[in-house]
């Protein structure tokens, strides 16, 4: 069974989600929710899904990536859960196209930290530490943003905002720095 993924404009996407206790995490309800979120993410398909995206203001997200793309430092990430995450950004920023299952059909270039550290709880309520770079770091920043009521459109280089179809037609194969210059988005990222 797939859960309904809510779209931009739904108030829950703009709320700060609440943390979960360890007892809540191990409850049958949350364990069931994690399973449903995993299925929903896989079917979408997506590489991450945060609880606010299925209408629940809880600090919980699921992540899984199976792709490998050298240009974006993308590598497979096994399925895992982050709860109550705290994010620390590295200093270097990278620009790349990003989309969101809650902003269906669109994409934009979003500057993100190339490396991050995350302290969180896992699906058993146990503390975990994550060090990530490249695409995985981008996924973590995107999902953790959801838990604070932030969408990528708040951080995007707005002149690159495009339908997914037009991005495939007009932006595919163009190096991102070249595309930014062409669109008048060459300035500093401010991170």
Residues that bind Zn ion (CB under 5 A): 100
Whichever of 22 and 151 has its CB closer to Zn ion, that residue is 151
CB of 162 to Zn ion, least distance (A): 16
Whichever of 75 and 151 has its CB closer to Zn ion, that residue is 151
CB of 69 to Zn ion, least distance (A): 19
Burial of 25 (0-12, 13-18, 19+ CB in 10 A): buried
Whichever of 100 and 109 has its CB closer to Zn ion, that residue is 100
- Please tell me which residue in 64, 98, 143, 185 is annotated as part of the active site: 143
Whichever of 14 and 182 has its CB closer to Zn ion, that residue is 14
- H-run or E-run covering 22: helix 22-25
Q: Concatenated DSSP letters for 143-166?
A: HHHHHTT--GGGTS-GGG-EEHHH
Residue 131 in contact with residue 141, Cβ under 8 Å? no
C-beta neighbour count of 155 within 10 angstroms: 19
CB of 102 to Zn ion, least distance (A): 5
146 token code pair: 């959801």
Give yes or no: 143 in active site.
yes
Q: Which residue is nearest to Zn ion (CB)?
A: 100
CB of 101 to Zn ion, least distance (A): 6
Please say whether the dihedral angle defined by the alpha carbons of residues 21, 27, 33 and 38, taken in this order, is positive or negative: positive
Catalytic residues: 143
């Amino acid at each position: 069974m797939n859960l309904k993924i809510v779209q931009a404009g739904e108030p829950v996407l703009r709320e700060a989600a609440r943390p979960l206790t360890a007892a809540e995490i191990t409850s049958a309800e949350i364990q069931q929710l994690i399973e449903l979120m995993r299925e929903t993410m896989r079917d979408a398909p997506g590489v991450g899904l945060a609880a606010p995206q299925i209408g629940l203001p809880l600090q919980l997200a699921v992540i899984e990536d199976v792709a490998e793309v050298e240009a974006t430092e993308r590598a497979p990430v096994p399925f895992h859960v982050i709860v109550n995450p705290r994010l620390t950004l590295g200093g270097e920023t990278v620009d790349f196209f990003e989309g969101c299952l809650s902003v269906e059909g669109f994409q934009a270039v979003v500057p993100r930290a190339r490396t991050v550290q995350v302290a969180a709880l896992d699906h058993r309520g146990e503390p975990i530490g994550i060090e990530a770079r490249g695409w995985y770091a981008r996924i973590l920043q995107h999902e953790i943003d959801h838990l604070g009521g932030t969408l990528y459109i708040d951080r995007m280089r707005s002149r690159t905002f495009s339908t997914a179809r037009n991005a495939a037609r007009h932006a595919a194969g163009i190096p991102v720095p070249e595309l930014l210059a062409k669109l008048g988005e060459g300035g500093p990222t401010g991170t």
